[in-house]
Structures are given as C-alpha cells and as structure tokens.
A = this chain, B = another copy of it.
C-alpha cells in the first residue's frame, strides 16, 4: 500500500493481427503475434487529495491518454500518474496500452483495490479497446515473451501461447501512424490476411516463421509505407530479418539486422516477463 507505487510494462510490437470487434470491449480484441520488449514504460501512481482531479504526465509533459483516464475511473480513484517511456507514442510499440496497464497495476496497489492480475488486465484491455488505441497490446504486455494471441479479448475469454525463444531486437521509427484510423476503417482484408498468417505461425511457432508471417502480412495488407518497405528491403539484402510494427511507421529486426544494413537502430531484447510492480 502506501501513497505511491510503480509498475513496469514492456513495450510490444505486433507483427501481424486480425481484428475482432465486439460490443463488449472486454471480449473485443485481436488475434496475432508480436514481441514484447525490454524497452517499455515505467508508470508511477501517486495518491492525490480526495476531490482533486487526476493528472497524467508522460515524459515530463502533462497529457491526456484516454485509456489511462478510463482505468482510473473504472477503479474509482483520483491519482497523479507519471509515466516515463523508452519508446515513442503512436509508433507501434503499445505505449498507450502499457501506460494503461501500468496504471491499473500501480493504482490497485496504492488504493488497495484487491483486484486480481487478470481483473487488472481486463480493466486496461477494455479501456484500450474503448479508446480505439489498440486491440491486443495489453494482453500481450501482461504475458511477456513472444506472445501468440490465439483467441481475442481479456484473460477471462482469450487464449494465449508463445514462441519459446528470446532475441535481441533492433528498431527504427520514421514517425507516427494512427492506430485508431486504421482500426476504424474496413478491417476485413486485414483480418483475412492476419488469420492466414496466424495459422502458418501455429504450424511452426519459431521466430523465423514469425518474421516471414509478419512480412507477408505487411505486404499483402498494403500497410507498408514507402520508407518502411525500403528499410525492410535493406535488411533483407544484408541477410537479416525485419518487418513493420503494426501499427507504426517503424521497422523492427531480430539480432543485428538493422545495424548490419547500415542503420543506427535502438537496441533492446524480448522481455521474458509480463507487466510487473517494481
């Protein structure tokens, strides 16, 4: 308990996905697969005097992250949330989901809400889906590793597996791409291609299959931006494995893929654990 608690939530890059809307935000979500990252978001939640409004600060700047406000409202608390992210917002790293989930974990502790881990994940997942900022990041970030989302939704209804592997991960970002814009458009094509990618990965759950499936998904859905396509090509030419972060103007590679291709990437690794209190 006490007046402050801090949680760490790993970043998450989705390689491919299919969207599964539902009127109930805890049942809506996505199937797909991705990598959780040692680069992530640290979220400190501090009790504020009753009657005071909640504030959210990201990397020193007061801001509004809709799923974070929703999490605080759902838990019925007023707090100061201070998040510091090693990853950019809006570039396909699940920063909004991480901040929402970290807020849920830390607020549960500060305000002694006595919710279970799954219940907190459900609160954050539902908030993220309602805000339209993500469909699968929260449940992946709750698990850690290299999660495969076999069935969509919160932990009460979903089904997760994982690729039993670790890897160094490199990434470069060329700017933002609006998740909510893509997700609010026609997602049927995405879903058909994503479902195909998932069935291939389930047949052979290895990192190499994941990268193949992700590249096929990026190509066939037409989501590739020009700069992302060129960078992935450069990594392929250097015998590396890279693909596009869904959804961000970002390329990620395994091992030294981007370095070998002459880029100056950020470097991290897959994160063995899911979201945790510090």
Q: Which residues of A contact B (CB under 8 A)?
A: 105, 108-109, 114-118, 120, 144-145, 148, 155, 161-166, 202, 204-206, 272-274, 276-278
Interchain Cβ contacts under 8 Å between A and B, 28 examples: A105-B164, A108-B164, A109-B164, A109-B165, A114-B206, A115-B164, A116-B148, A116-B162, A116-B164, A116-B202, A117-B145, A117-B162, A117-B163, A117-B164, A117-B205, A118-B161, A118-B162, A144-B273, A144-B274, A145-B274, A155-B161, A164-B277, A165-B277, A166-B276, A272-B274, A272-B276, A273-B273, A273-B274
Who on chain B is nearest to A116 by CB? Answer: B205
Say how many copies of this protein the assembly contains. 2
Closest B residue to A112 by CB, please name it.
B206
Chain B, residue nearest A164 (CB):
B117
* Alpha-carbon distance A166/B275, docked complex (angstroms): 12
- Per the bound structure, the CA–CA distance linking A270 and B213 in Å amounts to 36
Q: Which residues from B are CB-within-8-Å of A117?
A: 145, 161-164, 205
Inter-chain CA distance A206–B109, complex, in Å, is 10
Return the chain B residue nearest A7 by Cβ.
B164
Q: Which of A115, A163, A273, A278 has the most CB of B within 10 A?
A: A273
Distance in angstroms between the alpha carbons of A165 and B278 in the assembled complex: 9
**Minimum Cβ distance to chain B for residue A134 (Å):** 21
Bound Cα distance from A273 to B275, whole angstroms: 9
Q: Which residue of B lies closest to A205 (CB)?
A: B116
- Cβ of A162: which chain B residues have Cβ within 8 Å of it? 116-118
The residue in chain B whose Cβ has the minimal distance to the Cβ of A120 is B164
CB distance from A221 to the nearest CB of B (A): 25
Residues of B within 8 A of A166 (CB): 276-278
A145, B105: Cα distance in complex, Å: 13
Known contacts A276-B166, A277-B166: A205-B161 contact under CB 8 Å:
no
8 interchain residue pairs of minimum CB distance: A273-B273, A117-B162, A116-B205, A272-B273, A272-B276, A117-B164, A118-B161, A116-B161
Nearest residue, chain B, Cβ from A276: B272
In whole angstroms, how far apart are the Cα atoms of A117 and B207 in the complex?
12
Which residues of the other chain, B, contact A145 by a CB distance below 8 angstroms? 117, 274, 276
Task: Report Cα–Cα, A232/B166, bound state, in Å.
Answer: 40
Q: Which residues of B contact A206 (CB under 8 A)?
A: 114
User: Bound state CA distance, A148 and B117, in angstroms?
Assistant: 10
A11 to chain B minimum Cβ distance, whole angstroms, is: 16
